[in-house]
Amino acid sequence: MTERVSVTIDGAQVSVPKGTSIIEAAKQAGVLIPHYCYHPSLPSPAVCRMCLVEVEKAPKLMPACVTTVTDGQVVHTNSLPAKQAREGVLEFLLANHPLDCPICDQAGECELQDYTFQEGRAAGRHDDYPKRYNPVEDFGPDVLYVPNRCILCTRCVRFMDDVAEDGVLCVSERGDRATIGIFPDRELDHPWAGNVVDLCPVGSLISKDFLHKARAWDLDRTASVCPGCTQGCNITIDTRDNTVVRLRPRANLEVNRHFMCDEGRMHYRWMNRGDRLESPSVLEGDQRRAVGWDTALERLGQMVRGGAGTAVVLASGRASLESLGWLSRLLGRYQVTAAVQVPMGDEAPLAGVPGLALRAERAPNLQGARVLGYDAPWASALAAAGKASLVVLLDVSLTEAEAAGLAGAGNVVVLGTVESGAGARAGLVLPVTTMAEEHGTWMNCDGRVQRYQQAKAPPGMAQPAWWVAAGAMATIDASADTPGSAAEAFAALGAHWPALAGLSYQDLGLSGRIAMPAMAEAAR
């Protein structure tokens, strides 16, 4: 048990562990102390001097980010000296900061803008001095540096030095000529370098990919989980008019702290694909005919009801626990061989955060799939599919050869998002939603079950795969309980898979919960 101390911040008393900084203690008292250089996932240099607060009995204002609380301490964050100090810092920061907010990507989510609006001076005293000018620099594959907007908080330098441990950035020059520099012949091309854009409190480090794409205030934000790999970094999906414009990390101190990798960020692109399957279709002779869901579910129910023997399910590593679970239940009468497709790539750890990496297995629900019995090797499942009486393909992409191998199968059902190689020979093609278009859960490599939320509307008639499976079950047994929502679909899984017993969307919240503690322990 760590020792606790009691402090009073702006009149509110809080008890926090010894060693807590005033700035973190204040958060618990419901007080946000304005700051720039401080970041909970970086070492604190206390250089911006924005978080100066009045501490009773201290001879001068103290930086809240590096001053630890002591028992009985009384802190005033809004006393006149503290407010004047902040106003002074804001004025100094604006001395050289261009007021180009109308063309700045950061506008609307800029901490300089926010605090200036909140408590800066109503009028500037800078008159007509020319501001410091330096041209925009290209720092790397996705990062531009706009030195004129830089407030020298050095979050980017510290991220690269202390978290990425690839110290390519530095502060160059002194005084008001100082800018962030990059080492000669180096690029900001670390696999996690994109985090400097999020860390930058102003519009100085900006993403080329997002450049001038949208205004922050036009974006809708949805809590989600990165579909890139088994790590399961928590993210926010930013959409504008049903189009995903960027993915950003969402804080989860136990999974990804405040970071996500650059590869993960680029996953937004497929979320906007236009060539989507939009309606169910059946194969009649060699003609494909679009049908409604009633017909489609009826047809799927008939196939399953009449079937027996072996079934093979080939599923995407991005399929949700709900979809995999309900598909398994639908095929309960078969002897099922189930596998998930796991694209492999290079592993890219983030050195300064133990346990955080872009994982080689690029399948966010690989662990969940295993728990639900989708554990056959891909190649053997594929071989078995050629002889199975029923093959279900859930959002997988097959090569031509792999698709040709299905020729010997009985019924082939495709639940897909886009045309796949196997579509042509499938008796039934059913449009399903992507993770951006549904609510769902995945289990990450540490056994943590995490929710993602629906960020955009599905195209056409696409539905979550669990809805399709449950709907088909209902055509077989009208008395079966059919989930009316993803939450219900999830809650029902516990009865069949003990690892998920007792979990609900409510418990998972938006930061997830370890469902398999033993696994989390082993990963440590």
Q: Check binding of 60 to other proteins (CB under 8 A).
A: yes
Pick one of 7, 14, 51, 61: the residue that binds other proteins (CB under 8 A): 61
Instruction: Give the HSE-up count for residue 3: Cα atoms under 13 Å, Cβ half-sphere.
Output: 6
Cα 89 from Cα 243, distance rounded (Å): 38
Q: Check binding of 173 to other proteins (CB under 8 A).
A: yes
Closest CA to 374 of 341, 422, 396: 341
Task: Report how many residues bind other proteins under the rule CB under 8 A.
Answer: 33
Q: Check binding of 49 to other proteins (CB under 8 A).
A: yes
Q: Check binding of 85 to other proteins (CB under 8 A).
A: yes
For residue 78, give both structure tokens: 């809004």
DSSP 162: I
Q: Check binding of 91 to other proteins (CB under 8 A).
A: yes
Taking CA atoms, 502 is separated from 244, 298, 489, 497, 498, in Å, by 34, 32, 13, 10, 9
Other beta carbons within 10 angstroms of residue 241's beta carbon come to: 10
C-alpha angle with apex 262: 439 to 169, nearest 5 degrees?
A: 145
Q: Check binding of 46 to other proteins (CB under 8 A).
A: yes
Q: What share of the chain is helix, strand, coil (3-state, %, to 5)?
A: 30, 25, 50
Span from 175-183, 289-297, 333-341, 380-388 in contact with other proteins (CB under 8 A)? 175-183
Residue 177 CB, shortest distance to other proteins, in Å, is 8
Residue 83 CB, shortest distance to other proteins, in Å, is 12
Q: What backbone phi and psi angles, to 5 degrees, belong to 84? A: -65, -35
Q: Check binding of 95 to other proteins (CB under 8 A).
A: yes
Of 79 and 279, which CB lies nearer to other proteins in the complex structure? Answer: 79
Instruction: Give the HSE-up count for residue 264: Cα atoms under 13 Å, Cβ half-sphere.
Output: 36
Kindly identify the residues of this chain, within the stretch 431-490, that bind other proteins according to CB under 8 A: none
Pick one of 53, 93, 260, 515: the residue that binds other proteins (CB under 8 A): 93
Of 95 and 501, which CB lies nearer to other proteins in the complex structure? Answer: 95
Span from 1-9, 47-55, 248-256, 304-312 in contact with other proteins (CB under 8 A)? 47-55
Span from 42-50, 283-291, 420-428, 463-471 in contact with other proteins (CB under 8 A)? 42-50
Of 130 and 502, which CB lies nearer to other proteins in the complex structure? Answer: 130
Q: Check binding of 171 to other proteins (CB under 8 A).
A: yes
Span from 40-48, 137-145, 344-352, 358-366 in contact with other proteins (CB under 8 A)? 40-48
Pick one of 176, 218, 347, 507: the residue that binds other proteins (CB under 8 A): 176
Strands (DSSP E) found in 373-478: 390-394, 411-416, 428-431, 440-443, 448-452
Of 11 and 124, which CB lies nearer to other proteins in the complex structure? Answer: 124
Strand 411-416 to 4-9 pairing? unpaired
Residue 496 CB burial class (10 angstroms; 0-12, 13-18, ≥19): middle
Cα 23 from Cα 284, distance rounded (Å): 67
Q: Check binding of 152 to other proteins (CB under 8 A).
A: yes
Span from 18-26, 170-178, 221-229, 291-299 in contact with other proteins (CB under 8 A)? 170-178
Residue 161 CB, shortest distance to other proteins, in Å, is 10
Of 169 and 327, which CB lies nearer to other proteins in the complex structure? Answer: 169
Cα 324 from Cα 242, distance rounded (Å): 26
Strand-pair partners of 452: 440
Kindly identify the residues of this chain, within the stretch 269-298, that bind other proteins according to CB under 8 A: none
Residues 105/210, Cβ–Cβ less than 8 Å: yes
Residue 181 CB, shortest distance to other proteins, in Å, is 11
Span from 123-131, 275-283, 331-339, 499-507 in contact with other proteins (CB under 8 A)? 123-131
DSSP per-residue codes, 338-395: EEEE--B---EE-TTSTT-EE-SB--TTHHHHHHTT--S-HHHHHHHHTT-SEEEEES
Q: Check binding of 48 to other proteins (CB under 8 A).
A: yes
End-to-end CA distance of the chain: 22
Residue 259 CB, shortest distance to other proteins, in Å, is 25
Give the full edge-to-edge strand order of the sheet including 4-9.
12-17, 4-9, 74-76, 52-55, 62-63
Q: Check binding of 129 to other proteins (CB under 8 A).
A: yes
Q: How many residues does the chain have?
A: 524
Q: Check binding of 201 to other proteins (CB under 8 A).
A: no
Q: Check binding of 151 to other proteins (CB under 8 A).
A: yes
Span from 89-97, 229-237, 456-464, 478-486 in contact with other proteins (CB under 8 A)? 89-97
Q: Check binding of 47 to other proteins (CB under 8 A).
A: yes
Pick one of 13, 84, 485, 504: the residue that binds other proteins (CB under 8 A): 84
Of 96 and 341, which CB lies nearer to other proteins in the complex structure? Answer: 96
Of 180 and 406, which CB lies nearer to other proteins in the complex structure? Answer: 180
Q: Check binding of 52 to other proteins (CB under 8 A).
A: yes
Pick one of 74, 107, 170, 251: the residue that binds other proteins (CB under 8 A): 170
Cα 486 from Cα 325, distance rounded (Å): 12
Cα 244 from Cα 248, distance rounded (Å): 11
Q: Check binding of 494 to other proteins (CB under 8 A).
A: no
Helical residues (DSSP H) of 121-188, grouped into ranges: 155-158
| Residues engaged in binding other proteins (CB under 8 A) | 45-50, 52, 60-61, 63, 66, 84-85, 88-89, 91-93, 95-96, 125-126, 129, 151-152, 170-171, 173-178
